[in-house]
Amino acid sequence: MGGGADRVVLAEDARDALVKARAGGWSCGIVTNGRTAQQVAKIRASGLDRLVQGWVVSEAVGRKKPDPEIFRAAADAVGVPLEGAWVVGDSPHADIAGAHELGLRSVWVSGGRAWAAEGYRPTHVAVDVAGAIHHVIRSA
Protein backbone atom coordinates (compact mmCIF):
# COMPACT_ATOMS: atom_id res chain seq x y z
CA MET A 1 0.00 0.00 0.00
CA GLY A 2 1.43 3.39 -0.95
CA GLY A 3 1.49 6.58 1.06
CA GLY A 4 2.67 5.07 4.32
CA ALA A 5 -0.77 4.03 5.57
CA ASP A 6 0.73 0.79 6.87
CA ARG A 7 3.18 2.77 9.05
CA VAL A 8 0.70 5.10 10.77
CA VAL A 9 0.69 4.71 14.54
CA LEU A 10 -1.58 6.53 16.96
CA ALA A 11 0.29 7.64 20.08
CA GLU A 12 -0.99 5.83 23.17
CA ASP A 13 -1.61 9.07 25.07
CA ALA A 14 -3.67 10.40 22.14
CA ARG A 15 -5.65 7.14 22.06
CA ASP A 16 -6.29 7.38 25.81
CA ALA A 17 -7.38 11.02 25.48
CA LEU A 18 -9.87 10.11 22.74
CA VAL A 19 -11.27 7.29 24.86
CA LYS A 20 -11.66 9.74 27.76
CA ALA A 21 -13.34 12.31 25.51
CA ARG A 22 -15.82 9.76 24.20
CA ALA A 23 -16.53 8.49 27.73
CA GLY A 24 -17.21 12.10 28.73
CA GLY A 25 -19.85 12.46 26.03
CA TRP A 26 -17.79 14.23 23.38
CA SER A 27 -18.44 13.44 19.72
CA CYS A 28 -15.21 13.09 17.79
CA GLY A 29 -14.60 13.25 14.07
CA ILE A 30 -11.78 13.56 11.59
CA VAL A 31 -11.42 16.09 8.78
CA THR A 32 -8.50 15.35 6.48
CA ASN A 33 -7.22 16.52 3.14
CA GLY A 34 -6.00 13.88 0.73
CA ARG A 35 -6.98 10.91 -1.35
CA THR A 36 -9.87 8.90 0.05
CA ALA A 37 -8.33 5.43 -0.19
CA GLN A 38 -5.06 6.50 1.42
CA GLN A 39 -6.63 8.54 4.23
CA VAL A 40 -9.24 5.89 5.10
CA ALA A 41 -6.47 3.27 5.15
CA LYS A 42 -4.54 5.45 7.64
CA ILE A 43 -7.64 5.94 9.80
CA ARG A 44 -8.25 2.19 9.90
CA ALA A 45 -4.59 1.19 10.35
CA SER A 46 -4.22 3.51 13.33
CA GLY A 47 -7.44 2.31 14.97
CA LEU A 48 -9.00 5.77 14.79
CA ASP A 49 -12.02 4.26 13.04
CA ARG A 50 -12.94 2.66 16.38
CA LEU A 51 -12.40 5.87 18.38
CA VAL A 52 -14.36 8.46 16.37
CA GLN A 53 -17.94 8.65 15.18
CA GLY A 54 -17.08 9.66 11.64
CA TRP A 55 -14.73 11.30 9.20
CA VAL A 56 -14.55 13.16 5.92
CA VAL A 57 -11.77 13.14 3.35
CA SER A 58 -11.37 16.09 0.99
CA GLU A 59 -11.32 13.98 -2.16
CA ALA A 60 -14.63 12.33 -1.21
CA VAL A 61 -16.48 15.59 -0.51
CA GLY A 62 -14.84 17.76 -3.16
CA ARG A 63 -13.69 20.39 -0.63
CA LYS A 64 -10.37 20.89 1.15
CA LYS A 65 -9.55 22.42 4.51
CA PRO A 66 -9.84 25.30 5.30
CA ASP A 67 -13.07 25.46 3.23
CA PRO A 68 -15.93 25.73 5.75
CA GLU A 69 -17.96 23.16 3.79
CA ILE A 70 -15.61 20.31 4.71
CA PHE A 71 -16.10 21.08 8.40
CA ARG A 72 -19.87 21.16 7.89
CA ALA A 73 -19.63 17.79 6.15
CA ALA A 74 -17.69 16.43 9.13
CA ALA A 75 -20.37 17.57 11.56
CA ASP A 76 -22.96 15.81 9.38
CA ALA A 77 -20.82 12.65 9.26
CA VAL A 78 -20.57 12.61 13.04
CA GLY A 79 -24.23 13.53 13.48
CA VAL A 80 -23.79 16.67 15.56
CA PRO A 81 -24.27 20.39 14.95
CA LEU A 82 -21.15 22.36 14.10
CA GLU A 83 -22.03 25.07 16.63
CA GLY A 84 -20.02 24.58 19.80
CA ALA A 85 -17.46 22.34 18.09
CA TRP A 86 -13.73 22.53 18.62
CA VAL A 87 -11.18 22.08 15.84
CA VAL A 88 -7.92 20.41 16.87
CA GLY A 89 -5.18 20.42 14.28
CA ASP A 90 -1.53 20.95 13.48
CA SER A 91 -1.91 23.17 10.41
CA PRO A 92 -2.33 26.90 11.02
CA HIS A 93 -3.75 27.35 7.52
CA ALA A 94 -5.90 24.26 7.03
CA ASP A 95 -7.13 23.66 10.58
CA ILE A 96 -6.98 26.88 12.58
CA ALA A 97 -7.93 29.21 9.70
CA GLY A 98 -10.86 26.90 8.97
CA ALA A 99 -12.02 27.09 12.58
CA HIS A 100 -11.56 30.87 12.58
CA GLU A 101 -13.63 31.23 9.41
CA LEU A 102 -16.51 29.37 11.08
CA GLY A 103 -16.18 31.11 14.45
CA LEU A 104 -15.22 27.84 16.17
CA ARG A 105 -12.84 27.38 19.04
CA SER A 106 -9.56 25.72 18.14
CA VAL A 107 -6.48 24.08 19.57
CA TRP A 108 -3.33 24.24 17.52
CA VAL A 109 -1.04 21.23 18.02
CA SER A 110 2.24 23.10 17.78
CA GLY A 111 4.77 20.33 18.22
CA GLY A 112 6.84 23.06 19.88
CA ARG A 113 6.67 25.44 16.89
CA ALA A 114 5.99 29.16 17.32
CA TRP A 115 2.77 30.61 15.88
CA ALA A 116 3.57 32.63 12.74
CA ALA A 117 0.22 33.14 10.97
CA GLU A 118 -1.26 36.63 10.97
CA GLY A 119 -4.89 37.66 11.10
CA TYR A 120 -6.14 34.84 13.33
CA ARG A 121 -4.99 32.82 16.31
CA PRO A 122 -6.01 29.53 17.89
CA THR A 123 -8.08 29.59 21.06
CA HIS A 124 -5.41 27.44 22.72
CA VAL A 125 -2.01 25.97 21.88
CA ALA A 126 -0.96 22.45 22.92
CA VAL A 127 2.32 20.72 22.24
CA ASP A 128 0.71 17.41 21.31
CA VAL A 129 -2.63 15.84 20.41
CA ALA A 130 -3.25 14.40 23.87
CA GLY A 131 -2.75 17.82 25.47
CA ALA A 132 -5.11 19.36 22.92
CA ILE A 133 -7.85 16.83 23.62
CA HIS A 134 -7.45 17.21 27.38
CA HIS A 135 -7.84 20.98 27.01
CA VAL A 136 -11.09 20.51 25.08
CA ILE A 137 -12.39 18.08 27.72
CA ARG A 138 -11.57 20.55 30.51
CA SER A 139 -13.31 23.37 28.66
CA ALA A 140 -16.74 21.83 29.11
* Tens digits of residue pLDDT in 66-89: 999 999 999 999 999 999 999 999
Q: Which residues of 47-72 are buried (b: 16+ CB within 10 A; e: fewer)?
A: ebeebbebbbbbbbbebbbbbbebbb
Region 81-101 average pLDDT: 97
Rounded Cα–Cα distance for residues 122 and 70 (Å): 19
Averaged over 96-121, what is the pLDDT? Answer: 97
Report how far apart, in Å, the C-alpha atoms of 81 and of each of 2, 36, 120, 129 are. 35, 24, 23, 23
pLDDT of residue 7: 84
Q: Provide the CATH number for the domain formed by 5-139 in this structure.
A: 3.40.50.1000
At 1, the pLDDT band (50, 70, 90 cuts) reads very low
Domain locations in the chain? 5-139
Degrees (nearest 5) of the Cα angle 73, 76, 77? 85
| Mean pLDDT of the 106-121 span | 97
Mean pLDDT for the chain? 95
